[in-house]
């Protein structure tokens, strides 16, 4: 009996790295959340309220010491709300962190993990309107 339990546990532990790799491989690109018509993709609807990881770039923050930032598909070196010439990309994602975050360099790709939320929401502090966002988020460098 002890031998079977040992073999079962050992087999489970040997499989663990592949489970971890699978989780890392499940990182989504921003475009996967949007349909061609500009609405939400079927994948986004399926993932609403669930945990996910999305890769992108942190846009320059709207204000210092914030718990909110915008994830973009491409690096942006200027705040799109501060420079009228800057073009804001169509595929963005609002990110709400659990606590004040450290700003990542604009050109360093990050992975953001949290809970996906869909639908219109206006941030009370910044006035930023989002249609899709990740809440309870954390990020790491890709």
- Does 14 reside within a domain? no
- Does 2 reside within a domain? no
Domain range enclosing 66 = 27-141
Confidence at residue 19, expressed as pLDDT on a 0 to 100 scale: 30
Tally of structural domains, the chain: 1
With beta carbons less than 8 A apart as the criterion, state whether 62 and 80 touch. no
**Closest-CA residue to 61 (of 98, 94, 99):** 94
Looking at the DSSP assignment, which residues form a beta bridge with residue 117?
Answer: 133
- Does 8 reside within a domain? no
> What is the helix (H) or strand (E) element at residue 47, kind and residue range?
helix 42-47
What CATH number is given to the structural domain containing 44?
Answer: 2.40.50.870
Confidence at residue 81, expressed as pLDDT on a 0 to 100 scale: 53
Confidence at residue 84, expressed as pLDDT on a 0 to 100 scale: 46
Give the integer Cα–Cα distance in Å for 112 and 49.
15
**Closest-CA residue to 87 (of 101, 99, 76):** 76
Give the integer Cα–Cα distance in Å for 73 and 91.
7
Per residue of the chain (142 residues), give pLDDT as tens: 444 433 333 333 333 332 332 344 578 888 888 888 878 899 999 999 999 999 999 988 777 788 989 898 889 877 655 544 445 456 788 999 999 998 899 999 999 999 999 988 888 877 888 888 999 999 999 8
């Amino acid at each position: 009996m002890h031998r079977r339990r040992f073999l079962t546990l050992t087999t489970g532990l040997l499989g663990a790295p592949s489970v971890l790799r699978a989780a890392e491989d499940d990182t989504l690109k921003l475009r996967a959340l949007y349909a061609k018509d500009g609405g939400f993709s079927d994948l986004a609807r399926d993932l609403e309220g669930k945990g996910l990881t999305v890769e992108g770039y942190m846009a320059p923050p709207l204000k210092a010491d914030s718990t909110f930032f915008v994830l973009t598909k491409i690096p942006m070196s200027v705040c799109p709300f501060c420079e009228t010439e800057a073009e804001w990309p169509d595929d963005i994602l609002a990110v709400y962190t659990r606590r004040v975050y450290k700003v990542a360099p604009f050109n360093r790709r990050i992975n953001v993990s949290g809970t996906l939320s869909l639908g219109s929401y206006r941030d009370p502090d910044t006035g930023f309107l989002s249609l899709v966002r990740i809440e309870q988020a954390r990020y790491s460098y890709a």
